[in-house]
Structure 1
Amino acid sequence: MACISYLIVDSTVRSKGTGQQIEEYASRAARRRNCGNIQVHCHLRRIDAHRFYNRQGYSESPKYFTKLL
């Protein structure tokens, strides 16, 4: 599995294809490494980002656990 830890595009250049280019590059790199899937963490409050990932073909699988230390 490949994982995108953070994908953040500056608000001044959003909706210009930058995020799409970065995500597609990451997907190509994951395929070259024979990864079966790619996962990205996206906080609940990032509604616009959720729409972006849906357009890119991601499906939601909301099962994360966090332990504060």
Structure 2
Amino acid sequence: MRRATPEDLPAIVGMLADDHLGAERESPDEPAVYRAAFDRLDKDPNQHLVVAERDGATVGTLQLTVIPGLSRRGSTRALIEAVRVHTDARGDGLGTRLIEWAIEESRRQGCVLVQLTSDATRVDAHRFYERLGFEASHLGFKMML
């Protein structure tokens, strides 16, 4: 695991776009929008965009956001997003290692809890997260702006 660099962007975006949901919302042919987003993330100390690399290839990624807060007695929490493993690297525990890294980094950052959301249609992902100790505890809502 290592911090993502601009050179990782094509591989990261490719993984984000490599399923039925990502194919609808990602635009790999627009690298400038991803570069601008990367630059914003890279400047923010509460954002941790990481990649897993194997034999020189970027094969996994996730974004960890550290969120200071007032609730829970002023607790800090972490949010895991955009967890992806390249199709060719699935099934060998890389996803587990990515999540374990995020949990440990959350602890290191002083977080009292780590949370994530998963699209309602990603049933396999739900089982994966539950196997790692996450509990379905909330009903989520989103509004596109």
How many pairs does the alignment contain?
69
Gaps spanning 5+ residues in structure 2: where? 1-76
Aligned to 2:87: 11
Look at both structures and tell me which one has the larger radius of gyration over its CA atoms.
2
Match of 2:134 among 52, 58, 67: 58
Map residues 1-69 of structure 1 onto 2, 5 A cutoff: 1-69=77-145
Indicate the RMSD between aligned Cα atoms, in angstroms: 1.2
2:111 aligned counterpart, secondary structure: coil
> Percent identity over the alignment?
35
Task: Give CA-to-partner distance per residue, 1:5-63, whole Å, 9 cap, x none.
Answer: 11111233222100000000011000111101101111011111011101100001232
Query: Which protein is richer in strand relative to its size?
Result: 2
> TM-score by structure 1 length?
0.89
* Higher relative contact order, structure no. (Cα contacts within 8 Å, ≥ 6 residues apart): 1
Q: Which runs of 4+ in 1 moved over 3 A?
A: none
